[in-house]
Structure 1
Amino acid sequence: MAKKKLVLKQEEEHDSVTTQVRRADFPPHFVFGVSTSSYQIEGGVDEGGRGKSIWDVFSHTEGKIVDGSNADVSVDHYHRYKEDIDLIAELGFKAYRFSISWPRIFPDGLGTKVNEEGIAFYNNVIDSLLEKGIEPFVTLYHWDLPLHLHDSIGGWLNKQIVDYFAIFADACFAHFGDRVKNWTTINEPLHIAVGGYDTGRSAPGRSHNPSVETYLAAHHMILAHSAAVSIYQNKYKEKQGGQIGLVVDCEWAEANSDKIEDQCAAQRRVEFQLGWFLHPLYFGDYPKTMRERLGDRLPEFTDEDKELILNGPMDFVGLNQYTSRLVFHAEDSGEEGHFEKSQQVAKMVEWEDGEMIGEKAASDWLYIVPWGMRKVLKYISDTYNNPPIYIMENGMDDEENENVPLQEVLDDKRRVAFYKGYIAEVAQAIKDGVDVRGYCAWSLLDNFEWSHGYTKRFGLVYVDFKKGLTRHPKSSAIWFKDFLKDSQE
């Protein structure tokens, strides 16, 4: 019980702060924004010269998406981006984090001929944002790999992908970098590697050889990220004056007891998530814990690789953080997939007395645990010499239920409480000395939630999928509007 009491005591210390969190609790230049991704919101999959992505095929494969849906139209942001940008401005956000669809820029991914219609679309989005005083935060890759690259060379399993990604990144910097000052390379490489090449729950849906392919795909993503960073730092940064980082995700792992083996399991769990990608970028190799458990399944970095990843350091860490788990050491975790099993960590959501770690949201994986946010931020600060951090995603979902009246759905009190709690912990992390510089809520709109289709709603703004995709701000959107107005009071 000692472990639980310590954690809950820390939580109770900030209860009053949580209920009173204000914009004024953050530095004046701290930026608040909202996030989306191209495949989840754009639609227009056959318009504007866009090529097919691996998610187009995956979402049209029977049995892959819970409700049998796809994102061919999604919320039609491709045609309604001005309306959505007006919403962002009306709510008072000063940043919009979105991603560029690689197959909209290079339909076959090869980089031989840029698609001018794709360039024009993102120019329009960027210009519309700047007209409203909203800062674009652009992610180069949020999972929608051009299908041709997967079919022709094996996608992330082939080291050639590094060169193709570099060409794509270079084109984006050249066309948009005069106005975009905040770049991230790849969103959640962990999820891409595990979901795409281990469990097969995400595109391209492979689970053929997870003990090899999972780590090979991740390895090439690290190199692709580093190649893009090198191009930006050496070719564009001095002239354009921007910054570039990587977006990692972490489910905080809290040891379930004071036992040394459980403490080590918690540390190991976090290293398998954050360390998998940040250790190479800061220290030149994977964490020792991963090397010990994975052996030669974990690729080696050549001297040339190390020169690439260490000589062009990124400017900040992007973090996606939603939830936390209690963990303990277990020889057999009972989890699915090579990546999870190799950690020898079991996860749970109940303390010893049966009390839950936090209230469950709609998704099975998402429990509301605000104090985990602060712990992840502190861990990154302590482990990687206090780099600047931008929180790129944080939010919770509700279950889609057509039988609930619209007004009831819009009054999302639980989401309001979620944001109050998590944002308060970000404020506390800053007081702890963590260099957090921005926060983006996930998501602006209800959208296509990957393998869950339209069964989960993360949006601050409700989208009526049955009636013309009309947008309706929820109570959480109004709360943010009031919160952001607070800065002058």
Structure 2
Amino acid sequence: MPVNDIIHVSLMFFVVYLLVSSTSNAEGFEIESQDVRRSEFPDNFLFGTAVSSYQVEGGYLEDGKGLSNWDVFTHIPGNIKNNENGDDADDDYHLFLEDAEIAQSLGVNAYRFSISWARILPRGSFGEVNPGIEPFLTIHHFDLPQELEDRYGAWLSPLMQDDFLLLAETCFKRFGDRVKYWTTINEPNVFAEMSYVRGLYPPAHCSPPFGNCSVGNADIEPLIVVHNMLLAHGKAVKLYRERFQSKQGGSIGLVVQSHMYEPLRDVESDRQAVNRALAFTGGWVLDPLVFGDYPPEMRQYHRSELPRFSSEETEYMKGSIDFIGLNHYSTLYAKDCIHSPCVLGGDHFIRGFTFTTGERDGTLIGEPTGVERFYVVPRGMEKIVDHVSKRYNNMPIYVTENGYCPPLTEAAPNLLHDVNRVHFYNGYLAALARAIRKGADVRGYFAWSLMDNFEWAGGYSSTFGLYYVDRLTMNRTPKLSAKWFQHFLANRSSARFNRQRSVNPTPKSRRVRKSKYIVIATTNANATDVRRNDNVSLLLY
């Protein structure tokens, strides 16, 4: 089936946009108790949920898809918790219509997801475009064709820039008339950290003291990888603006992840450590895209190994985002390692000569979650948005990920009756509303995630979803938090939401009944035509 006739790709295919008291919970951690309503956000605010292709899609070898780096990495015993993989994931590749239904039922008006590079260009530039697929929104979210890794080391090579440009151009040509919000790359800083500092993601490069991989240099390789990613982004944006943006009417940005940081001690050196920590995480990625060079905090301490941009590169890098995609989950303490002794690792450049921790004097900064170094600290949302807004001249911001994973020891019934996730969203959305009232130009919020999915090295043990997914049947069941979201988006008082209300125990059928969508095209033989008859924006890919 020709590409132009197909509208189903690596993930889902519509767009939706979304969002979310001082008391203490049972563990004694402070939580926000104030009311928060949809009306506290602008009328045109985008509220949605988010997923990524490899984490939910499945169908890993169907319809001409090539092997991705994650397909290979997850099949090596010991790389992933419980030796799990994303071969089937949430089977969104086949259940995308149902997932469109459940997202629409929340009342959201946006949906963030990514395309699978290996499904669109199975062998990168070394093969043909795979017919029958159309992508949307995030062009590159961690997974890439294994062939590019095997041939030249993927993001360690400048050759990757042009391979990415080919992918971006393919997406702009095929899908640009239906896509109004593009992000080129998801979290270059996290990708570099997990793949080339800690070695927990493919290609599993690291070096002491961060890990004991067979290959890698944690002081140098992350800098090269991010540099190539930023240049690839800049080239893609230049192409988009010159050839597509004026006629397609879209906007384009990039997604960065950043904790907020607070000084561990009430001393000036730790306050400076906070500034360095922010510069060496979000600033590492955003400064070149806004100002044309890496943060001065990085240049000051790393004059030789930190790559430099040529004058030509600076020209197309500077101002190469229309908006900032900000992923935020947690807040940590920061301690100076320049003037104070630190534990091994904090004294390295790649860490900004800063030691970060979630504990001070035996007390955690916030309620612990099921993810290492992720704590529930709602005030951090207000602070990080305020910081990004001020540093980058009040550029438009979309909070592209924010969500909660319960501790892995949490009892099974609580997985559906997820009161702590309700507390999380209430607190973080209230903090976001405060940042907006203070003047930050925030235009959207995406909850991570629509449903439980494959959480990278954590496999299926980490559950961020508003919907529970039965791993055997693939049935989706709404959690209490999904009902809270519906309540919030209907502009009802969050303070009045009955956190004890029951969740429908009957799993939602895989079969979509009385669907509001008619399939325009999928790679399945039964596909017919997809039309919308409601007011939720449906973007087909």
TM-score, normalised on structure 1?
0.89
Give the corresponding residue for 2:307: 299
Deviation at 1:175, TM superposition (A): 0.9
Give the corresponding residue for 2:202: 203
Residue correspondences, number: 456
1:232 and 2:237 aligned: no
SS of equivalent residue, structure 1 residue 247: strand
Give the corresponding residue for 1:129: none
8 Å contact from structure 1 (residues 328, 347) kept in 2: yes
SS of equivalent residue, structure 1 residue 319: strand
In structure 2, the gaps of 5 or more residues are 1-21, 25-29, 207-215, 495-541
In the TM superposition, 1:140-179 aligns within 5 A as: 140-179=139-178
Partners of 1:17 and 1:178 lie apart in 2 by 42
Taking structure 1 as reference, are residues 232 and 84 closer, same or farther at Cα in structure 2, changes over 3 Å only? Answer: same
Q: Which runs of 4+ in 1 moved over 4 A?
A: 15-18, 335-342
Deviation at 1:460, TM superposition (A): 0.5
1:470 and 2:475 aligned: yes
Look up the equivalent residue of 1:391 and give its one-letter code: V
Deviation at 1:97, TM superposition (A): 0.1
Give the corresponding residue for 1:127: none
Look up the equivalent residue of 1:319 and give its one-letter code: L
Give the corresponding residue for 1:325: 332
1:261 and 2:269 aligned: yes
Alpha-carbon displacement from aligned partner over 1:447-482 (angstroms, at most 9, x marks no partner): 0010011111010100111x3111001000100011
8 Å contact from structure 2 (residues 73, 79) kept in 1: yes
Taking structure 1 as reference, are residues 375 and 335 closer, same or farther at Cα in structure 2, changes over 3 Å only? Answer: farther
In structure 1, the gaps of 5 or more residues are 1-8, 123-135
1:481 and 2:486 aligned: yes
In the TM superposition, 1:375-414 aligns within 5 A as: 375-399=383-407, 404-405=411-412, 407-414=413-420
Give the corresponding residue for 1:54: 69
Give the corresponding residue for 1:242: 250
Deviation at 1:171, TM superposition (A): 0.7
Taking structure 1 as reference, are residues 109 and 223 closer, same or farther at Cα in structure 2, changes over 3 Å only? Answer: same
Deviation at 1:326, TM superposition (A): 1.1
1:373 and 2:372 aligned: no
8 Å contact from structure 1 (residues 197, 206) kept in 2: yes
Give the corresponding residue for 1:281: 289
Partners of 1:334 and 1:477 lie apart in 2 by 41
CA RMSD of aligned residues (A): 2.2
Look up the equivalent residue of 1:315 and give its one-letter code: D
Partners of 2:382 and 2:348 lie apart in 1 by 25
Tell me the percent identity.
43
Taking structure 1 as reference, are residues 414 and 223 closer, same or farther at Cα in structure 2, changes over 3 Å only? Answer: same
TM-score, normalised on structure 2?
0.81
Give the corresponding residue for 1:357: 365
Alpha-carbon displacement from aligned partner over 1:259-302 (angstroms, at most 9, x marks no partner): 11111000000000111011111111111221222231111111
Partners of 2:335 and 2:313 lie apart in 1 by 35
SS of equivalent residue, structure 1 residue 245: strand
Give the corresponding residue for 1:91: 106
Look up the equivalent residue of 2:484 and give its one-letter code: W
Look up the equivalent residue of 1:344 and give its one-letter code: F
1:25 is aligned, of 40, 51, 58, to: 40
SS of equivalent residue, structure 1 residue 297: coil
Deviation at 1:112, TM superposition (A): 5.0
In the TM superposition, 1:59-208 aligns within 5 A as: 59-110=74-125, 112-119=127-134, 122=135, 138-207=137-206, 208=216
Partners of 1:347 and 1:168 lie apart in 2 by 37
SS of equivalent residue, structure 2 residue 373: coil
Partners of 1:161 and 1:376 lie apart in 2 by 31
More helix by share: 1
Q: Indicate the structure whose relative CO is greater, using CA pairs within 8 Å and at least 6 residues apart.
A: 2
